[in-house]
Chains A and B, each alone.
Chain A
Amino acid sequence: MGKRVGVEVSIALADAVKLADADVIAAYPITPQTHIVEHLAELVAEGELDAEYIPVESEHSALSACLGSAAAGARTFTATAGQGLELMHEVLYVASGMRLPIIMAVANRALSSPLSVWGDHSDAMAVRDTGWIQIFTENGQEVVDQIICAFRIAEDPNVLLPVMVHLDGFNLSHVIEPIEMPTEEEVCDFLPVRRNPLTLHPSKPVAMGDFAPPVVYTEAKWAQEQAMMAVKPTILDIWDDFAKKFGREYKPVECYKCDGAKNLLFTMGSFSETAMTAVDKLRDAGVDIGLIRLRLWRPFPFEEFRAAVKNAETLLVLDRCISSGGPGGPVASELKAALYNEEKKPKVVSFVGGLGGRDITVAGFEKIILDGLELAAKGQEREYEIVGVRE
């Protein structure tokens, strides 16, 4: 049995990387991710983790170094946030295209300008099409568990794709929470030694990330997409096995008081805990409302999502990102797309809020729910509503 400790989530995350026995860590510190890689640098310097820590001069180099180390067969970890993730952008495609199982923690942060270091999902949404598996976490325990699961998912022979584990900057990365840390033996048992189907080796030459003319690029991308679409059953199996070994269950879509609810609030990330309290309060006051939260963002769990909302009449979606000049938040428009061909589909009301670290309190969520239900009833005038803006 693991030990229950009170610890900052970033530190717990770094300890989880240590438990997973990472071989190489290449990262550039950036707020609010800094504590994660600082602690990892300490663990390596003090000899607690036998790994190579590569200090680099930018995030572009951090992920490039990770490419090399993962291609050589090393268990590789990096972490970033906001602008750093954007600086990695082109290398993200290289990592997924080369099918390298790199694990990255992203302490979600807003994008400049204006400069903001606070929590926001703009960075994650900007890289949603890069071919990485993306998991959004809600609390410290989930961060630790999903980091451990991420290594097993990424390295599974049926997957071999890089994984991002998202945790909200500050709201989650910098809070101190009670977390049950698994033991080294438990993680060892859960996470097998990495086996590499294809690695760089002097006696068996291989060229990775090679040039593909128009005649084969489509086939190469389709092969990658087939792998991505086949990932979900493997993830479900791994989460099931995790539940058996550690007693904590994870599902792609999490429903809270959804049974029989005609109206559902949809969130991602750490806001869900606040939203739960608001749902509790409104339920007590007789309002028909439930909460669904998406844990697995890429690949998108279409079946689970459709099943979760099939009896709903209204879906209120909160995005922590603006799709500028677009139809609302990027998540809301994706959900609309997922529902478009369904015969019975809920009305979708898109909200954008919590940008750049703006807090949404329990009262704030109550207002979103009540406003959303009113908008759904009387019809929306705008594509989306912005939450809490001073007018």
Chain B
Amino acid sequence: MAKSEFELTWQDIEIGAAVTEPGSAAAYKTGDWKSQRPTYDFSRCLKCGICYVFCPEGCVRQNQKGHFEANPYYCKGCGICAYECPTRVIVMREEEEK
């Protein structure tokens, strides 16, 4: 995409607001409205990947150390990963908390 939707002016809008470029959800940050986010204490992490399997958004990826982590730009804050984690690595916190 040339411009993000936040930068489009009315002149940039295609006739009839048509979408001519095939898009993908990857182009849009869809996690900005979550109210809770997952936080991690990787010292207890078994690298089992259960959070990866259960994430309904498919936004959990394995990092270079082998730990699993949600991408905050796409995570909706549902808390399923925290609920399923066998060793309580993941704790959900309010967005405004550090």
- Given A205-B22, A206-B20, A215-B5, A197 contacting B15 (CB threshold 8 A): yes
**Which residues of B (5-26) have their CB < 8 Å from a CB of A?**
5-6, 8-20, 22
Does A381 sit within 8 A of B, measured CB to CB? no
One of B6, B11, B13, B19 near A215 (C-beta < 8 A): B6
**Size category, A interface:** 20 to 34
Quote the shortest CB–CB distance from B22 to chain A (angstroms). Answer: 6
How many residues of B are counted as interface, with CB atoms below 8 angstroms from the partner's CB atoms?
16
Q: Does A222 contact B (CB under 8 A)?
A: yes
Q: Is the interface of A mostly helix, strand, loop or mixed?
A: loop
Contact B22 A97 (CB under 8 A): no
- B11 close to A223 (CB less than 8 A): yes
How far does the Cβ of B83 sit from chain A's closest Cβ, in whole Å? 30
Q: Whole-angstrom distance between the alpha carbons of A99 and B8 in the complex?
A: 19
Q: Does any Cβ of B come within 8 Å of A286's Cβ?
A: no
Instruction: Give the residue among B9, B12, B14 with the most A Cβ atoms within 10 A.
Output: B14
Whether A374 is near chain B, meaning CB under 8 Å from some CB there, is: no
Determine which of B12, B15, B19, B22 lies in contact with A99 in the assembled complex, contact meaning CB atoms within 8 Å: B15
B9 near A219 (CB under 8 angstroms)?
yes
Contact, CB under 8 Å: A198 / B14: yes
What is the CA–CA distance of A224 and B11 in the complex, to the nearest angstrom? 10
Contacts beyond the supplied A98-B17, A198-B14: 13 A-B pairs with Cβ under 8 Å: A98-B16, A160-B15, A198-B15, A198-B18, A198-B20, A206-B18, A206-B19, A206-B20, A208-B19, A210-B17, A213-B5, A216-B8, A220-B10
* 10 closest cross-chain pairs (CB), A and B: A99-B16, A220-B17, A207-B19, A98-B16, A222-B10, A219-B10, A223-B13, A223-B10, A210-B19, A208-B18
26 A-B pairs, CB-CB below 8 angstroms? A98-B16, A98-B17, A99-B15, A99-B16, A198-B15, A198-B18, A198-B20, A205-B22, A206-B19, A207-B18, A207-B19, A208-B18, A209-B17, A209-B18, A210-B18, A212-B17, A215-B6, A216-B5, A219-B8, A219-B9, A219-B12, A219-B13, A220-B13, A223-B11, A224-B17, A226-B10
